[in-house]
Amino acid sequence: MPTMPVDNGFYVTSGFGPRWGTFHYGTDFGRGGGSGGHPVYAVKDGTVTASGPASGFGQWVNVDHPASNGGGLTVYGHVIPEVRVGQSVTEGQRIARINPDSRTNGGVAPHLHLEWHRYVWSPPGPDRLDPMAMLAGARWPGTPPKKEPRMAQPSTTYTQLTTVDRGWRDPNTVPLIAIHTYECPRESGERALRNRAQYQQTSGTGSYTVLVSADGKSLRANDDNYTPCASLHTGDRLGFHLSFLAYARDSRETWLAYDTQLREAARICAEWCRLYGHQPRHLSIAEMRARKAKGFCTHADISDAFGESDHRDPGKGFPMDVFLRYVTEALNPAPSPAPPTKEDELNTDQHRMLQEIWDQLRGPGGKGWPQLGKTEKGENLTLVDAIAEIRADLDKLMEK
Ligand SMILES: [Zn+2]
Ligand SMILES: [Zn+2]
């Protein structure tokens, strides 16, 4: 999660979007009582690619972010730079201060103008992203990094958390477990999962809660208490979103051929059921709209229920019946051993052998062997008793 470029107490004075008959490709930050001279911080780790005079900004700083950190480039305008080109900066590091000279920002009050470019510096257009969307979940400078969530949540093979989310939510208020297909081949392994998550991050196209690969590995892209960007607002907020690396056009036979993939997804879903009380059943559209029952749905169901998207994944071939049975099985793991059946009892030969061993030790009917001698009470000795007698006799002989 990134860090805000200004201190707590600043607010957005002008957002990303249409403004004065043109389009404002950035977010302006200011604070009551004046912003001039206040520090500006790098939103993420990166390398300074520009620092100094820039048309329209007075001066600016550009920071390029490595792909391993979500990629992109951020622009800090109307500032006095405090870093030089080529310098590495860390998230939350002070890199500039807001220029108090209004002549450098078109004569309005001093403020920070922040831009977020998709890959590298890009002219005005679709590769300039809404900075506030990218800053969703960001912390204020100087506050400790967000703790890993203390709450329990389903474990996954890998974790690669995204910044493309819709912010915090209470996972206890999430009624749906929504199934998607990523619309890609049935890829396997860590690299495939990480690449698919990374593509969503750098392209800003969306995110799921969990991705599951063909070989039954899983990757978490959002903690349960963050709303992913998987199905537009309502469906996103109401769901844990699990996406298979698969196509919605895949047939039922294809789905069933990837049993380990279904099983891993079912294991994760069963954990959600256990933690939050979802039932392993397919909710009706009416139930989804009522938002009372907790259960399963598809992205297609979300499209039908809330009308915000037209996606039909995971497709008609998705074997919801088998999948929910797997979830149920994962919820009720192997029952305790069954009582012994006929097969578990000794067969006739085994029984006879056991009887012989017992007879040898205890005598026929457990009454000792007459040839071993008798006790003081006149009973036949058993094998063990007889050996004890012999030892006692031996001891007496040795004493003499
Ligand atoms: Zn601006
Ligand atoms: Zn979907």
State the distance from the centre of ligand 2 to the C-alpha of 337, rounded, in angstroms.
41
pLDDT at residue 343, as a whole number: 58
Q: What is the pLDDT of residues 362-398, one digit of tens each?
A: 887 778 888 888 887 888 888 888 888 888 888 888 8
State the distance from the centre of ligand 1 to the C-alpha of 359, rounded, in angstroms.
99
3-state secondary structure 173-221: HCCEEEEEECCCCCCCHHHHHHHHHHHHHHHCCCCCCEEECCCCCEEEC
Ligand lying closest to the C-alpha of residue 312: 2
Residue range 82-88: mean pLDDT, rounded: 97
State the distance from the centre of ligand 1 to the C-alpha of 228, rounded, in angstroms.
28
Q: What is the pLDDT of residues 292-317, one digit of tens each?
A: 999 999 999 999 999 988 999 999 99
pLDDT classification of 338: cutoffs 50, 70, 90: low
Count of H helices and E strands in the chain?
Answer: 10, 21
State the distance from the centre of ligand 2 to the C-alpha of 289, rounded, in angstroms.
18
State the distance from the centre of ligand 2 to the C-alpha of 323, rounded, in angstroms.
17
State the distance from the centre of ligand 2 to the C-alpha of 116, rounded, in angstroms.
26
pLDDT at residue 226, as a whole number: 92
pLDDT classification of 342: cutoffs 50, 70, 90: low
pLDDT at residue 364, as a whole number: 79
Euclidean distance between CA atoms 252 and 50, whole angstroms: 53
State the distance from the centre of ligand 2 to the C-alpha of 242, rounded, in angstroms.
9
- Answer for the pair 177, 265: CB distance below 8 angstroms, yes or no: no
Q: What residues form DSSP beta bridges with 29?
A: 12, 112
State the distance from the centre of ligand 2 to the C-alpha of 221, rounded, in angstroms.
15
Euclidean distance between CA atoms 326 and 331, whole angstroms: 8
pLDDT classification of 332: cutoffs 50, 70, 90: confident
- Answer for the pair 347, 355: CB distance below 8 angstroms, yes or no: no
pLDDT at residue 385, as a whole number: 83
pLDDT at residue 257, as a whole number: 96
State the distance from the centre of ligand 1 to the C-alpha of 115, rounded, in angstroms.
8
The answer to whether the Cα torsion of 214, 220, 224, 230 is positive or negative is: negative
State the distance from the centre of ligand 2 to the C-alpha of 183, rounded, in angstroms.
9
Contacts of the segment 303-310: beta carbons below 8 A, 24+ positions apart: 303/231, 305/235, 306/232, 306/234, 306/235, 308/231, 308/232, 308/233, 308/234, 308/235, 309/231, 309/232, 309/235
Q: What is the pLDDT of residues 11-68, one digit of tens each?
A: 999 999 988 788 999 999 999 889 999 999 999 999 999 999 999 899 999 999 998 8
Q: How high is the mean pLDDT of the chain?
A: 91
pLDDT at residue 163, as a whole number: 87
Domains, in order of start, for the chain = 11-134 (2.70.70.10), 158-331 (3.40.80.10), 354-399 (no CATH)
Using a CB cutoff of 5 Å, list residues around ligand 2, an ion.
180, 299, 311, 313
State the distance from the centre of ligand 2 to the C-alpha of 244, rounded, in angstroms.
10
**DSSP character string of 274-297:** HHH---SSB--HHHHHHT-S-EEE
Q: Is the pLDDT of residue 155 over 60?
A: yes
- Cβ partners under 8 Å of residue 233, min gap 6: 166, 308
Rounded percentage of the chain residues whose pLDDT exceeds 70 = 95
Ligand lying closest to the C-alpha of residue 181: 2
Q: What is the pLDDT of residues 120-151, one digit of tens each?
A: 999 999 999 999 999 988 899 987 765 555 56
Ligand lying closest to the C-alpha of residue 76: 1
pLDDT at residue 344, as a whole number: 60
Residue range 4-8: mean pLDDT, rounded: 95
State the distance from the centre of ligand 2 to the C-alpha of 248, rounded, in angstroms.
9
State the distance from the centre of ligand 1 to the C-alpha of 334, rounded, in angstroms.
61
- Cβ partners under 8 Å of residue 49, min gap 6: 62, 63, 64, 73, 85, 121
State the distance from the centre of ligand 2 to the C-alpha of 243, rounded, in angstroms.
7
State the distance from the centre of ligand 2 to the C-alpha of 131, rounded, in angstroms.
25
Using a CB cutoff of 5 Å, list residues around ligand 1, an ion.
26, 28, 113
**DSSP character string of 74-113:** EEEESEEE-S-TT-EE-TT-EEEEE---GGGTTTS---EE
State the distance from the centre of ligand 2 to the C-alpha of 281, rounded, in angstroms.
19
State the distance from the centre of ligand 2 to the C-alpha of 182, rounded, in angstroms.
7
